[in-house]
Amino acid sequence: MVDKILAEYGAVVLDRNAKRLVVQVDDKQLRPLAEKLFESGFYYANGVGVDERGLGHDFAMYHVFASEKDKLYLVVKVSTSNLKLPSITPVIPGSNWAEREAMDMLGLEFEGHPEPERLILPDDWPKGVYPLRKEFDYNERPEFVERKPESTPQRTDVVQLPLGPYHPALHEPEYFEIHVDGEVITDAKYRGFHIHRGMEKLAEGRLTLNQVPFLAERICGICGFTHSIAYCQAVADAAGLDWPERAKYIGVILLEIERLHSHLLWVGVVFHLLGFDSGFMHMWRIREKVMDIAEALTGNRKTYGLVLIGGMRRDIDESRKNWVLKTLTELREETERVSKDIFGMKELINRIKGIGVLPKEDARALGVLGPVARASGIDTDVRRDHPYLAYDKLDFKVPVYPEGDVLARLLVRYDEIIESFRLLEQALSEMPQGDVMIEDYTIPSGRVGLGATEAPRGEDVHFVITGVESKVYRWHPRAPTYNNLPSVPIMLRGNNIADAPIIIASIDPCFSCTDHVAIVRKGKVIWKGPLGEGVKQVGR
Amino acid sequence: MMFKKSLWVFHLNSGSCNGCDIEVLNIFTPKQDVERLGIKLVGSPRHADAIAFTGPITRECLPKAIEAFMAVPEPKIVLAIGSCACGGGIWFDSYAVIGGIKEFYKILKEKHGIEPPTTIYIPGCPPKPEAIIYGVALARKAVEQKQKSEIFVEESDIDDAATLFKEATSTRHFIPKIEVIKRGE
């Protein structure tokens, strides 16, 4: 079916394999094609602007679409010689941020974008300096220009309540402006991107292909490993590499350990925000054992430093494996015992039931991912829909709840904790013998690769173009919070102000993942208009 | 300036990846439970004795970090938690960050005339919870600092070492002052 659509709009196939398809279309055909794809069930997965002058072309924009039904990632490339391209935001709202990134980082222009202002770099960044153009050095530091004062006018009809950028309920610097009428939230705005560290430029400028996994791991201190796996999958895809079986199983084991500690952490934080601190302490006490497992297997509690393009740097020996299996059994018993007590608390369940509802239609239009999508009745999971590593050989269930409230998000994550235990036990006991690393490979230059993994928060999509002399020409990661954040204003509207921290936390926001690419200028609203009726309210 | 009694800490994420933040939170949970030692996280810099930086301090965070720093009443100490806060970490020369706490002090000195306060460096990516507790214990003079700013090299290696340090100065923003001392002197 995809081929038929593509043929209709005159798309030229550049490269294809079982999991992904790269095509190029004429810029006039882009918007109708995007509209057609969206109608037939594709969602917007990633958007990458590339300065291709070093490859002998002009500037280009790569739009990545994904479909669970077709089990396919579709990369649509459009080139431009005069920096002008049509915007697809009017037909696919999810591309809004991606196009703005390209505007600010590369100086591309998108015709028909509902908000074509330059938004990305901080206020004190000079105009006309584009960090991702090849002539810009990664360590260049332009002079600070003067910051403009706050431009949003104060409203008199509502009370504007600031939350952040440094706030006890948020552990990362982000700013929410909440409009309240009495106790009820009428509106919310998000301003953020404080944690832009210039990662993509560093990867292009200073590091080699095999060093980038260590950088990718530092995108996020909670779900970093899944980023480095996604990067290595992308390069392996570009070069046509296949990891040894044992390395794939070790990858699964570490990814599930990461999911386990991330979900336990999240459940703890939610209890803390509800004022239920003993639940928080119990969850983090249990989590400490997961950290011990991570340390025993990798040598570090967080940044594992274990994956390279060719596979794993370290094997799991028999005695460690048995110790981990034994610890996992204890851990599972303890989790189930504590959770049984906690889910028996009616006051806790009633506190989070029916608040922060995200309806399924809004969820799909915004392209939300991971547990947030599954709690709104969308049956999606990269591990099942686009299998990677050894997930196609393992048995696991994908929990889906239709309610869309905070309780559903808690239940989805709890079920996933239990599934992670099952996956870990299977992977550890079924792990085949053999090598863990391939070292004899060459990486061709100028090839496009795509890697996707299911992070604890949703789908990570990494896009890579390989360069010469074992460098990355372009690398663009997209973290799940990037897609999930726009759903927060919809969840907040109509709820009580006291519920705001728990609703914000219920998507498990990870700002450091999201902010690696861009900084949004203070005083500007990030979304408004086209994201469905509810979000139309946001920018007013 | 050292604190003998309970230390109240304001934690400021200045562009960290979350790794250090989670480890900071981790020391307040049952395994370490540092509240029993009088260490407490506070919600406002005005209530704090110490300010803990995690992250390389991004350009966007800089003005807010300066404001929060100035809001902490004197006397204060700074905890630089993690490799990024100590020296910029993997991002030390990226366009989007200023590159760690020493660069931050430079800016404070130039723009506001503020002298750097006592600073405890806790490197690691992320530092283990035990290392953070050790850092706080140093601040409270509960333990002696063992690390010294001297290194020992063989007499025959002096030239090589000098070249190495020279190279390091050209690529890094700063390196600790290192004196080359001959063994046995």
CA A488/CA A469 separation, integer angstroms:
43
Angle, CA of B11, B15 and B21, to the nearest 5°:
40
- B170 — pLDDT class (breaks 50, 70, 90): low
- The length of chain A is 540
The answer on A325 and A221 residing in a single domain is yes
Residue A74 lies in a domain: yes
Residue B49 clears pLDDT 70, i.e. is over it: yes
The answer on A243 and A97 residing in a single domain is no
Does the interface ipTM go beyond 0.90?
no
Percent with pLDDT over 90 in chain A:
31
CA dihedral (B176, B179, B184, B185) in degrees, to 10, reads -140
Residue A90 lies in a domain: yes
- Looking up residue A9, the CATH number of its domain turns out to be 3.30.460.80
User: Which residue would you say has higher pLDDT here, A469 or A123?
Assistant: A469
Using one digit for the tens of pLDDT, what is the confidence trace for A182-216? Answer: 778 777 776 666 778 888 888 888 888 888 999 99
- B2 — pLDDT class (breaks 50, 70, 90): low
Contact predicate A212/A231, CB 8 Å: yes
- pLDDT at position A420: 93
Domain count for chain A, please give it: 2
Whole-structure pTM over 0.90, yes or no? no
Please confirm whether the linkage preceding B126 is cis (ω < 30° from 0). Answer: yes
The residue of chain B with its CA nearest to that of A220 is B17
Residue A122: which of B17, B60, B128 has the nearest Cβ?
B60
Helix axes B101-112, B62-71, angle to 10 degrees: 70
- pLDDT at position A488: 82
The answer on A338 and A214 residing in a single domain is yes
Kindly report the backbone phi and psi dihedral angles of residue A180, in degrees, each rounded to the nearest multiple of 5, phi listed first.
Answer: -125, 145
Using one digit for the tens of pLDDT, what is the confidence trace for A42-92? Answer: 888 888 999 988 888 889 999 999 888 888 899 999 998 888 899 988 888
Q: Looking at the DSSP assignment, which residues form a beta bridge with residue A175?
A: A191
- Tokens representing residue A222 in the block: 């909670």
Using one digit for the tens of pLDDT, what is the confidence trace for A230-288? Answer: 999 999 999 989 999 999 999 999 999 999 999 999 999 888 888 888 999 999 999 99
Q: Touching check for A171 and chain B: CB below 8 Å?
A: yes
Contact predicate A9/A62, CB 8 Å: no
The answer on A207 and A105 residing in a single domain is no
Domain closes at, from A117, A135, A170: A117
Angle, CA of A234, A195 and A133, to the nearest 5°:
60
Residue B175 clears pLDDT 60, i.e. is over it: no
- Tokens representing residue A218 in the block: 């530092």
CA A47/CA A74 separation, integer angstroms:
11
The three-state secondary structure class of A63 is: strand
- Give B21 to chain A, closest Cα distance, Å: 7
- A540 — pLDDT class (breaks 50, 70, 90): very low
- Give A32 to chain B, closest Cα distance, Å: 37
Burial of A201-232, coded b for 16+ CB within 10 Å and e otherwise, reads bbbbbbbebebbbbbbbbbbbbbbbbbbbbbb
The answer on A206 and A64 residing in a single domain is no
Q: Give the pLDDT mean for A283-311.
A: 90
Q: Give the pLDDT mean for A205-229.
A: 89
Mean per-residue pLDDT of chain A? 83
Residue A367 lies in a domain: yes
Residue B97: which of A173, A198, A206 has the nearest Cβ?
A198
Domain closes at, from A85, A117, A149: A117
Mean per-residue pLDDT of chain B? 83
Which positions 60-79 of A are in contact with B (Cβ < 8 Å)? Answer: none
- pLDDT at position A518: 29
When mean pLDDT is compared over A85-89, A479-483, B179-183, the highest value belongs to: A85-89
Residue A130 lies in a domain: no
Residue A185 lies in a domain: no
Q: Give the pLDDT mean for B26-32.
A: 90
Domain residues for the domain of A359 are 199-505
- Cα Rg for chain B, rounded, in angstroms? 18
The residue of chain B with its CA nearest to that of A515 is B15
Q: Please say whether the structural domain B7-139 has been given the CATH code 3.90.650.10.
A: no
CA B127/CA B136 separation, integer angstroms:
13
- Give A348 to chain B, closest Cα distance, Å: 21
Residue A533 lies in a domain: no
Residue A533 clears pLDDT 50, i.e. is over it: no
CA A536/CA A514 separation, integer angstroms:
23
CA A57/CA A77 separation, integer angstroms:
12
- Looking up residue A418, the CATH number of its domain turns out to be 1.10.645.10
Residue A526 clears pLDDT 80, i.e. is over it: no
- pLDDT at position A539: 32
**Composition of chain A by helix, strand, coil, percent to 5:** 45, 15, 40
Yes or no, beta carbons of B19 and A302 under 8 Å apart: yes
Q: Touching check for A110 and chain B: CB below 8 Å?
A: no
Residue B31: which of A206, A285, A512 has the nearest Cβ?
A285
The residue of chain B with its CA nearest to that of A173 is B13
- Tokens representing residue A253 in the block: 């084991």
Residue A523 clears pLDDT 90, i.e. is over it: no
Identify the weakest region by mean pLDDT among A119-123, A386-390, A407-411, A449-453.
A119-123
Residue B172 clears pLDDT 70, i.e. is over it: no
- pLDDT at position A532: 30
Q: Give the pLDDT mean for A341-349.
A: 89
The answer on A210 and A329 residing in a single domain is yes
DSSP class of residue B127?
A: P
Q: A529, A527, A436, A445: which is closest to A98 by C-alpha?
A: A527
Q: State the residue for tokens 């006018």.
A: A153
- A417 — pLDDT class (breaks 50, 70, 90): very high
